[in-house]
Amino acid sequence: MNPKKQNIINAAYTLFINKGYNASSIQDILDEAGVSKGTFYNYFTSKTQCLIAIMESISSELSQLRMAAAAGRPVNDPKVLAEQLSIRIKLNREKNIFSLYESIFYSQDQELKEFSKLTYLKELDWIASRIVDVFGNEAKPYALDNAASLHGSIQQLFHLWKVTSHEMLPTDELASFVVRRLEVTMAHQIATGDRFMRISGLYPKKHAENLSPTELGAQLESYSKSVADGDATAQLVAFLGSELQANKPRKAVIESVLGTVANKTGHDAELLALLEQVWKQLAKL
């Protein structure tokens, strides 16, 4: 990301957490960041857009951390899912996300409310897709039910812990607990056919999820060409792309390179989505 834009985002984040979104003005952001009004408007059209950029930046960080935790491990391992859920709980606490969402809740800004709704639905969609990864295609009709239940359980148990205990929330223990409950519920639903939601997903299947290894490799190569020449990450992504298009892709090599790329920071949403699909394709190679 452009350093000037990142500087503005960092300044706005500090203000929104310490002073509150509604109480912070654009002038406050300019003063905190040490930039002119013209510089601010080069990157953002409003304070709303600045908050959305903060939330998107945190979302990208979450995706990167989840991918780093998953690389080299089985797609269907419940422990991987638990760790990925734990990462979100920790990041929410570290970044004081609830404070930011509280600002959105009390705001009358429709753009913010729409963004918040979309973020919520994307998280449910991600959880539902991971439930299918762990429990197989027979879990697909029940994945959305359980994504909502799991998401809600984490939130409610988080808040219950806060009001009943002075100890630090054991995030790993919480994530493992909800996944264990998920395993019991999923087995029962698959056995009985009991479900509430009559849709299997929130969005049409994402393009990257429909790709064969060869097609995914081509997408990765195309992405690498859109990045600045000489970029180390782009070179690794291009290598992943060529390896996936080989007659006999080398699984161990792909796993190693994927782990290296996944542990780098600053990836955009497009690359993170492609890397997640590489991880899922490895189970089929």
CATH code where residue 34 lies: 1.10.10.60
* Residue 175 confidence (pLDDT): 98
- Residue ending a domain, among 164, 192, 220, is 192
Domain count for the chain, please give it: 3
CA dihedral 261, 266, 271, 277 (to 10 degrees): 50
In a domain, 198, yes or no: no
Q: Does 276 lie in the same domain as 227? A: yes
Tokens of 111: 């753009």
* Residue 206 confidence (pLDDT): 58
Q: Does 74 lie in the same domain as 36? A: no
Q: Does 29 lie in the same domain as 63? A: no
Q: Does 117 lie in the same domain as 147? A: yes
Whole-model pTM: value is: 0.89
* 161 Cβ contact list (under 8 Å, min separation 6): 169, 174
Gap between the Cα atoms of 87 and 204, Å rounded: 27
Q: Does 163 lie in the same domain as 64? A: yes
Q: Does 179 lie in the same domain as 73? A: yes
Q: Does 159 lie in the same domain as 102? A: yes
Gap between the Cα atoms of 206 and 189, Å rounded: 26
In a domain, 123, yes or no: yes
Q: Does 59 lie in the same domain as 40? A: no
In a domain, 179, yes or no: yes
C-beta of residue 44 within 8 angstroms of C-beta of residue 53: yes
In a domain, 76, yes or no: yes
**3-state SS class at 231:** coil
pLDDT values of the chain reduced to their tens digit, one per residue, 285 residues: 688 999 999 999 999 999 988 889 999 999 999 999 999 999 999 999 999 999 999 999 999 999 999 999 999 999 999 999 999 999 999 998 888 888 787 778 899 989 999 999 999 999 999 999 999 999 999 999 999 999 999 999 999 999 999 999 999 999 999 999 999 999 999 999 999 998 877 766 655 667 889 999 999 999 998 876 667 888 999 999 999 999 999 999 999 999 999 998 888 888 999 999 999 988 888
Q: Does 272 lie in the same domain as 230? A: yes
Q: Does 161 lie in the same domain as 63? A: yes
* Residue 267 confidence (pLDDT): 87
Q: Does 257 lie in the same domain as 170? A: no
* Residue 245 confidence (pLDDT): 93
Classify residue 139 by its DSSP letter.
G
In a domain, 62, yes or no: yes
* Residue 108 confidence (pLDDT): 81
In this structure, the number of other CB atoms found within 10 A of the CB of residue 154 comes to 21
* Residue 202 confidence (pLDDT): 74
Q: Does 152 lie in the same domain as 73? A: yes
- Residue ending a domain, among 192, 215, 240, is 192
Measured CA to CA in angstroms, residue 276 lies from 35, 90, 192, 216, 259 at distances of 37, 21, 32, 11, 11
Query: Residue 15: which domain range?
Result: 1-44
Q: In angstroms, how far is the first alpha carbon of the chain from the final one?
A: 34
* 74 Cβ contact list (under 8 Å, min separation 6): 80, 283
* 92 Cβ contact list (under 8 Å, min separation 6): 98
